[in-house]
Structures are given as C-alpha cells and as structure tokens.
C-alpha cells in the first residue's frame, strides 16, 4: 500500500480542477433554469386563473374585521366576557360534534377495510394478475380523485339528508387514499417470508395473510389513525351539503351572520381535532415501540 | 422419482441453468455443489416452481412440473417442500404458526386466514418442533430466534407438509459451524428415518461429502459432475470450484498459480463426469 500522493503535477491539477468546475457550473445553471421555469409557470397560471394580489391586499381588512367580528357578542362585548352566552348552544353542538366524530370513525373503518383488501391487488410485488392490478389502481384513483364533499353532494341527492351520505363519502375517499398508501407499503416489504409461505403450496390469500400482512400491519394501523384525524376534519364540513355533523350548524351560522356562533363552533372543532390528533399520536407511538401482534 | 430432462433457465440472454439432466430416485440425499452463481439455486427453485422452466422438462411420476398451474401447482409445492438460506420464516409470527403454515395446502383458505387449525395439525406441528428440540419455543416470535433455531423451525415447517421431496437451498450458508451440524443432521435424519428425498445445495464440499449419497456438480449452469461423494477427488473439486476452491476444499496447501490464472469461461472438467445422456 503506497502513501497518498501529497503533491500533484500543476498541469494535471488544472485539468482536474477545470473538469470539476465545469460539472458544478452545469449543475448550477440547470438549477437556475428550473427555478425560473417554476416562477414563470406560477405567474402564468396566476394570470390565467385571475388571481389578483391587488384584490387580496385591498380586501385584507375585511378578512381581519370578520375574524374580529366573530369574537364579539350581540351586545358588543368580546365573547370571553360571557362564556355561557358564547356557548349557548353547547349541548346541541356537542351532540353534533359526536355525530361528526362517528361519521369519521365509521367512514374510516369502512374505507380501511376496503383499502386493506385492494392494496394487495394493487401492489406490484403481490398482485395475482397484472390486469387485476391495473383495474384496482384505476378504481383507487377514481375514489380519491374527487374531494369528499363532491361525493357527499351526490350521495345526499341519492340517499337524502343525514349522516349516511357523509359516511359513504368519507369511506370511498379513504379507500382511495389509503389503498394507494397501503399498496406502497406492501411494495416495500421483504419478500422472503412471502416466498417461504408460497413454497408450501398455500393459496394467494393465505400467502398475503401470513407472508405480507404481519409485515405491513404496523404501518397500516399508523396510516389509518392519521386518516381518522383527517376524516374528523373532513366530516366537520360534511354538513355544508347536508351530509350530517356539526357542519350544518356552522354553515347556517355563517350564512345568517350569527357571528359569535361561528367562533364558538370553530373553537369546538379545533379542540376536537387537537384532542384526536393527540390521542392518535399517542397510539401510533405506542405501536411503534411494541409492534402490533398479527 | 424426480426426472430432469435438459432443464434450462434463461434470464434475458444469460443461461443460469443450461441443459441439466438427472434422475433422482426416491429416498436419495443428493448434494448439489458448485461455486456461487453456478445455477444451483435456480435449479432447485425451478423444481418447486418458484422459477418458471424456460426449456426442458421436470417430471415426477405422471406430473409435468413445468406446466402446472393453479391448484395443481400448489399441490406440487406442498409435495416438495423448500428450505431457504435465509430461512424465510415470518418473523412477526410465533414459531408454531410458522410451522402450521406448512399445513396450509390441506386446510381451506377460510380456516387458514382465521388460523383455525385443527387439533391434528397442531399436534403434527408440535411433534415436528419437538423432533428438533424446539417445541418449548412454540409461542416465541420467530424473529427472536437464532439463525440455527430459525432454520430448524423452517425444517419443521417443511416436515408438516408431509412432502415426498425436500429441497434445501444453501440451508447452512448463514449458520455457524455448530448450527451447521445440527441442521445437516436434521436433514439427514429426515432422509434416513422418513425416506424423504432431500436435494440440498451446498457450498462446502466437506459437508457435501460427509452427508450426501450422491453429488451433482454445476459449473456455469451445466451439469459437469454426477457421482458418489467418495469418488470425487480433490483435484476435480478444485477444478469445479475454480477461484473459490480454497474456501471449500479445505486443504491447507496453496493452490497452483495455474488455477488462479485459468479463465472462468473455459473451465475444463473431465467428460467422464458427465452422465451419458
């Protein structure tokens, strides 16, 4: 083993140095080009979509004044001076909030059940057939393409007002979103156990059940809890289109200018979401530490 | 009786296994030897059909293994159990469940999914574990076990399949010497006591000589040797293994320079080693 050369010919050094600088320069000019392209695209789309910063600045005062207004009672006092009056409808709102959480819960449960099954059909490494995989992936894409509110609107027309359309809308959107995430988790597993199970002559569902599911379960649970938290937020606006939950009181308060009610309901929603975030976070960390049994 | 006729496997334009023919009678313990990348694994995996057969035929009695699909393929896999270098257990499941997975061909999919194993299957699994002194670990998660223990669980899983053939793909390559002994002894005992045919890929020639009834040698995908272990001279073995000879033949003396200088492609093996077919 010879020692590292401490000196280098000046000519050779110059060549090497030039090569390095050129490579760096090429990289830098590409980065600048990409940056310029992004700025240009943003400006073009803003102009064609008529996003006018002037409107934002001209009306920012209205926005802040609305925010200020919703924290004032009818008698002109700030809301926190009379909490009882601020939360006059607490009992109704809490029961609507409970309904909201239940819509999210049932919707998440149904959506997750569908996603778990479809994810294995959609995963490149486990799918029983390429055609089945393509069909499943398109279906999952369809499910998550439209916002929940769009589905809810359609289901309200089909099934009438109430929580059912909200549950269905959330279930379908969750199935699409989770199915995609789950299939990506499944694509990253260690295939040795899968091979081990398949080599015994087990059928495809059994291979997935024993070879793949135990590996993906902790991640599935973690994503599902995250989705539940997202769905509670989603469910709180389901009422906007008549699909149940606290949303119907919120939209009514906004439309009829019951300013203090708007802030009261928003505060309740924020507290609920924070609480659920806190709980699911705890559960997810627990799972991470100990691992779920399969 | 397992019959291989001109079995070939191509990956792209590279032949991993090239025209291998052999007949393996029931109850034999066959060692497949050769250097890394010689096609040993691919050959075994084709027999279990974890790989498809590009050309040639693998038959067992009336069964044409290469064309099986669906339930027939699964029935064949249940009949020829596989043991892997990395054990391929499900780490997050307990030991007994891992062994019971070996019963899944005979159990309805619904019952398997819900782990509704019969008492008879549970008894079989515990008996198989007990055979290798592993029954006391039945409730432990498989990934908490040592490599040697995991491989014995894998052998128990293979055993409850009640197979005719066990294919062992480098079963001891990840194990220390003591566990190597335990696992090879277990395979030999299965072969001798239960009459199950065992085909075992081995890197170590010493082990192959000690345990096997017959050695098949592969070089660059071709079958270049088929004889009883004691007939294999060290010189022939060195030719077979080429640059890896020092690792596997286990002779203290250094190899002649010629062995190192020999181009890998033009490995010459005496034609007498090739079975006349």
Collapsing DSSP to helix, strand or coil, B8 comes out as strand
Q: For residue range A26-48, what is the model confidence (pLDDT) as tens digits?
A: 999 999 999 999 999 999 998 88
pLDDT value at residue A6? 67
pLDDT value at residue B235? 73
Collapsing DSSP to helix, strand or coil, B21 comes out as strand
User: Span B244-268, mean pLDDT?
Assistant: 48
Arithmetic mean of pLDDT over chain A: 89
Is A244 a domain residue? yes
pLDDT at B265 over 60: no
Distance, CA of A263 to CA of A261 (rounded, Å):
5
Domain ranges within chain B, ordered by starting residue: 2-266
Percent of chain A with pLDDT over 90: 58
pLDDT at B244 over 80: no
Is A105 a domain residue? yes
Question: Residues 229-248, chain B: which have Cβ within 8 Å of A?
Answer: none
Q: For residue range B111-147, what is the model confidence (pLDDT) as tens digits?
A: 889 888 999 999 999 999 998 988 999 899 999 998 8
Is A251 a domain residue? yes
The runs of H, that is alpha helices, within chain B are: 40-47, 70-79, 95-100, 109-113, 119-131, 147-160, 177-194, 205-211, 234-241, 245-249, 257-261
Arithmetic mean of pLDDT over chain B: 84
Quote the number of domains for chain A: 1
Residue-range definition of the domain harbouring residue A164 = 87-291
Contact A196 B154 (CB under 8 A): yes
In this structure, what CATH number is given to the domain that contains residue A142? Answer: 1.10.3720.10
Is A11 a domain residue? no
How far from A207 is each of A164, A193, A219, A235, CA to CA, in Å?
Answer: 36, 9, 19, 36
pLDDT at A163 over 80: yes
Q: Which of B55, B11, B40 is nearest to B248 (CA)?
A: B40
Residue of A nearest to B85 (CA): A192
Percent of chain B with pLDDT over 70: 87
Structure confidence at residue B277 as a pLDDT band (50, 70, 90): very low
Q: For residue range A95-143, what is the model confidence (pLDDT) as tens digits?
A: 999 999 999 999 999 999 999 999 999 999 999 999 999 999 999 999 9
Q: State whether residue B171 sits within 8 Å of chain A by CB.
A: no
Q: For residue range A212-251, what is the model confidence (pLDDT) as tens digits?
A: 999 999 899 999 999 999 999 999 988 888 888 888 889 9
Query: How many residue pairs bridge chain A and chain B with CB atoms within 8 Å of each other?
Result: 90
Domain B2-266: which CATH number of 3.40.47.10, 1.10.357.10, 3.40.50.300, 3.30.1490.190? 3.40.50.300
How far from B236 is each of B227, B241, B267, CA to CA, in Å?
Answer: 12, 9, 11
Which among B76, B79, B113 has CB closest to A209? B113
Is A21 a domain residue? no
Mutation to test the B interface, candidates A196, A205, A212, most B Cβ within 10 Å? A196
Structure confidence at residue B34 as a pLDDT band (50, 70, 90): confident
Is A23 a domain residue? no
- Angle at which helix B119-131 crosses helix B147-160, to 10 degrees, equals 140
pLDDT at B260 over 60: no
pLDDT value at residue A274? 92
Is A40 a domain residue? no
Residue of B nearest to A290 (CA): B92
Per DSSP bridges, beta strands B197-201 and B29-33 are: parallel
Retrieve residue A283's tokens: 């559960």
What pTM value is reported for the model?
0.79
How far is CA B136 from its chain centroid?
A: 27
Is A266 a domain residue? yes
Q: How far does the CA of residue B79 sit from the closest CA of chain A (Å)?
A: 8
pLDDT value at residue B256? 43
Interface pTM, i.e. ipTM: 0.83
The answer to whether B155 touches B132, Cβ cutoff 8 Å, is yes
User: Span A170-183, mean pLDDT?
Assistant: 95
pLDDT value at residue A290? 55
Distance, CA of A258 to CA of A254 (rounded, Å):
6
């Amino acid at each position: 083993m010879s020692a590292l050369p401490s000196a280098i010919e000046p000519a050779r050094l110059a060549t090497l140095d030039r090569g390095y600088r050129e490579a760096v320069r090429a990289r830098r000019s590409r980065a600048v080009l990409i940056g310029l392209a992004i700025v240009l695209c943003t400006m073009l789309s803003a102009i064609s979509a008529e996003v006018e910063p002037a409107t934002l600045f001209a009306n920012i005062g209205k926005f802040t004044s609305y925010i200020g207004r919703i924290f004032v009672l009818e008698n002109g006092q700030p809301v926190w001076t009379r909490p009882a009056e601020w939360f006059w409808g607490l009992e109704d709102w809490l029961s609507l909030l409970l309904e909201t959480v239940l819509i999210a819960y049932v919707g998440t449960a149904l959506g997750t059940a569908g996603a778990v099954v479809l994810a294995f059909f959609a995963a490149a490494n486990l799918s029983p057939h390429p055609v089945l995989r393509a069909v499943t992936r398109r279906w999952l894409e369809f499910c998550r393409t439209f916002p929940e509110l769009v589905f809810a609107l359609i289901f309200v027309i089909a099934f009438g007002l109430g929580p059912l359309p909200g549950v269905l809308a959330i279930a379908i959107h969750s199935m699409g979103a989770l199915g995609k995430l789950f299939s990506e988790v499944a694509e990253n597993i260690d295939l040795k156990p899968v091979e081990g199970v398949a080599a015994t002559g087990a059928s495809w569902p059994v291979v997935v059940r024993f070879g793949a599911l135990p590996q993906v379960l902790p991640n599935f649970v973690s994503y599902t809890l995250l989705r539940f938290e997202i769905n509670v937020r989603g469910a709180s606006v389901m009422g906007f289109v008549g699909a149940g939950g606290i949303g119907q009181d919120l939209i009514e308060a906004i439309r009829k200018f019951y300013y203090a009610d708007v802030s009261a309901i928003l505060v309740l929603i924020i507290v609920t979401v924070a609480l659920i975030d806190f709980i699911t976070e705890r559960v997810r960390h627990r799972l991470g530490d100990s691992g779920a049994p399969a | 009786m397992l019959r291989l006729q001109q079995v070939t496997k191509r990956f792209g334009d590279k032949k991993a296994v090239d025209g291998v023919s052999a007949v393996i009678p029931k109850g034999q313990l066959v060692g497949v030897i050769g250097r890394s990348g010689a096609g040993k694994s691919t050959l075994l995996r084709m027999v279990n059909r974890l790989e498809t057969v590009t050309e040639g035929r693998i038959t067992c009695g009336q069964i044409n293994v290469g064309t099986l699909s669906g339930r027939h393929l699964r029935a064949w896999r249940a009949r020829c159990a596989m043991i892997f270098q990395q054990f391929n257990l499900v780490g997050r499941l307990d030991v007994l469940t891992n062994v019971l997975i070996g019963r899944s061909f005979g159990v309805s999919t619904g019952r398997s999914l819900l782990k509704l194993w019969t008492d008879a299957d549970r008894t079989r699994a515990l008996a198989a574990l007990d055979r290798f002194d592993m029954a006391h670990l039945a409730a432990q998660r498989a990934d908490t076990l040592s490599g040697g223990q995991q491989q014995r669980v894998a052998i128990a899983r293979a055993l409850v399949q009640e197979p005719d053939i066990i294919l062992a793909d480098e079963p001891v390559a990840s194990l220390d010497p003591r566990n190597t002994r335990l696992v090879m002894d277990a395979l030999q005992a299965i072969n001798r006591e239960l009459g199950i045919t065992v085909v075992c890929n081995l890197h170590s020639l010493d082990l192959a000589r000690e345990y096997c009834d017959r050695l098949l040698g592969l070089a660059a995908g071709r079958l270049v040797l088929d004889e009883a272990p004691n007939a294999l001279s060290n010189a022939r073995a060195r030719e077979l293994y080429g640059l890896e000879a020092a690792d596997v033949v286990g002779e203290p003396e250094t190899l002649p320079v010629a062995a190192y200088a020999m181009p890998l492609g033009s490995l010459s093996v005496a034609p007498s080693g090739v079975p006349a077919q």
